Amino acid sequence: MFWSLRGRLTALAALGGAGILIALAAILLSAERTAGERDLRRRVDEVAQIADQLIAQGGTQRFSGVVVTADSSARPEALSAATGRLLAALPGYVIVADPARPLYLSTSVADLATRDRETLLRAVTGLFGPERPAAFVQLDAARLYVRVRFTTESGAGVPLRIAVGMPADELSLVRLDGFASSLVAIPLLILGAAVIAFSVLGTGLRPLARLARQMEAIQHGRSLHRRVAIEGDAEEVDRLAETINAMLERLETSFASLRRFTADASHELKTPLTVLRANLERAMQHPNVPAEQLAPLEDALANTARMADLVDSLLTLARADEGRFDLHREPVAMEPLVAEMIETATILGESAGIQIRRLGSEPGTVSGDPDRLRQLLLNIVTNAIKYTPRGGTVSIGLERRGDQAVVTIDDTGVGIASVDVPFIFERFWRADRARSRGERGGLGLGLSIAEWIAQAHGGTITVASRIGRGTTFTVQLPLLREGESVTS
């Protein structure tokens, strides 16, 4: 089912849907990351601005000074306690430093590992400047977005750097909380898309399925006179149906011409061959025929007989193809018919040194033409004897399988290669190796006629064979049910 056109199109639709969903998820996550980064910058800027205002207010003596110094000429050592308490209320990582040293570290900064704290302080005091007031700083514990404001405290006249940082880990393109839900949602959406695509494609491909069924019926029935229906529900399918019908019409015309030629030629050749055969037989029986001429006459008679058999077979198949070969149906008991074939096979096998064995026989009656059924079995039996070497065995059996009468003809002959088995019922076909050597070469029509007779009776003929291990032909014919009438 998967490798059908419907399955492949469904797979392509599912893959396309998956690609669209993944691209859409990436776009949404990227947009979310951009919005998150913008929000993070805004929050950091707001906190940095508030810190700058708090320090500026301290410089106007609203608070008790901003910095604490040992004397008026010394450098500041720290922010005043009052200013520190105000800054401690701010969120995030807050650092206040002069160009040489930090004056204030928030609790978040103080709690960092020594390596991370030193990395952050080096960045604040050395990395940032008026031309680069913000950047991302990577620590071992977290990735921070840091914003630095540069200001001069009015009371002490000290240039200060007010740095505020906040974690930027939430800006990852794939966050675990959102990614986990996506892992569940995306496969479900793909599965849903596949189910919908499979259903829609089933409806869309239904005209093609109907067209294929009609073509199979025409092929199996060998009914070139039939045409596929043009339903008008799909322009492309209707155009394909019209093309197929045109092709079938041309094929029907060609095959009809060929069949008429074969039938006419066979019919015209039949009478001259009969006359030629009679003349040859008469010449051979003439008392004054020299002995040295008997051999050429016998050879000519054999070839004439072979040609007559070929013409008769061609005429039979041509009439069958045209449907002009009527079967005279009647109830035919299969057990006596098979017994007759065994007797004939025994006679034919004696001269070839082949043993004929009876496998078993179960009574059964079929509706058919006894002459044609006899020809069917005789063709197969003759074929089995022809390709079985001296000392071999041909077994013939009859059994019932449900509502079928089954005739099995098994030989221990040269066998047929597996690559040749599908072609043995084709007309004029013969294998290239052991089955076409010397006197074994036949007309190549016997099995074709046998297959036609089996199909004309509503039955089948199958073959199983292996090189050097013999061949088994199986003929199945529908049994005539009790009380069922014979239809011609």
CATH of the domain at 286: 1.10.287.130
Tokens 């291990």, located at residue: 469
Torsions phi, psi of 94, nearest 5?
Answer: -115, 130
Which residue, 299, 321, 343, sits at the end of a domain?
Answer: 321
Mean pLDDT of 466-486: 82
Q: Are residues 310 and 367 in the same domain?
A: no
CA separation for the pair 329, 96 (Å, rounded): 114
pLDDT of 323: 60
Does any domain span residue 396? yes
pLDDT of 72: 40
Beta-bridge mates of residue 104: 96
Mean pLDDT of 195-214: 76
Tokens 């620590």, located at residue: 139
Q: What is the DSSP string of 279-310?
A: HHHHHHH-TT--HHHHHHHHHHHHHHHHHHHH
pLDDT digits (tens, 9 = 90+) for 433-470: 444 444 445 556 778 888 888 888 889 999 998 888 88
Q: What is the DSSP string of 105-150?
A: E-HHHHTS-HHHHHHHHHIIIII-BTTB-EEEEE-SS-EEEEEEEE
pLDDT band with cut points at 50, 70 and 90 for residue 408: very high
Q: Are residues 313 and 382 in the same domain?
A: no
Q: What is the pTM of this model?
A: 0.47
Does any domain span residue 292? yes
pLDDT band with cut points at 50, 70 and 90 for residue 234: low
Does any domain span residue 215? no
Q: Are 273 and 304 in contact (CB under 8 A)?
A: yes
pLDDT of 221: 52
Number of domains the chain is built from: 3
Does any domain span residue 184? no
Please report, for the domain that includes residue 399, its CATH number: 3.30.565.10
pLDDT of 74: 40
Which residue, 171, 194, 224, sits at the end of a domain?
Answer: 171
Does any domain span residue 93? yes
Q: How many CB atoms lie within 10 A of CB 336?
A: 12
Q: Are residues 307 and 432 in the same domain?
A: no
With a cut of 60, say whether residue 334 has pLDDT above it. Answer: yes
With a cut of 70, say whether residue 1 has pLDDT above it. Answer: no
Q: Are residues 293 and 358 in the same domain?
A: no
Q: Are residues 164 and 42 in the same domain?
A: yes
pLDDT of 7: 72
> At how many degrees (to 10) do helices 291-321 and 235-285 cross?
150
Q: Are residues 30 and 102 in the same domain?
A: yes
Does any domain span residue 167? yes
pLDDT of 64: 42
pLDDT of 469: 85
Q: Are 61 and 154 in contact (CB under 8 A)?
A: no
Q: Are residues 56 and 75 in the same domain?
A: yes
Does any domain span residue 204? no
Does any domain span residue 388? yes
Question: Among the listed ranges 53-67, 116-130, 266-280, 338-352, which one has the minimum average pLDDT value?
Answer: 53-67
Start-to-end CA distance of the chain, whole Å, equals 42
Q: Are residues 162 and 18 in the same domain?
A: yes
pLDDT digits (tens, 9 = 90+) for 131-140: 888 888 888 8
Q: Are residues 239 and 382 in the same domain?
A: no
Q: Are residues 53 and 117 in the same domain?
A: yes
What residue type is 146 in one-letter code? V
pLDDT of 396: 92
Which residue, 171, 192, 218, sits at the end of a domain?
Answer: 171
pLDDT of 326: 64
Q: Are residues 161 and 27 in the same domain?
A: yes
Which residue range is the domain that position 141 belongs to? Answer: 5-171
Q: Are residues 12 and 149 in the same domain?
A: yes
Name the DSSP letter for residue 421: G
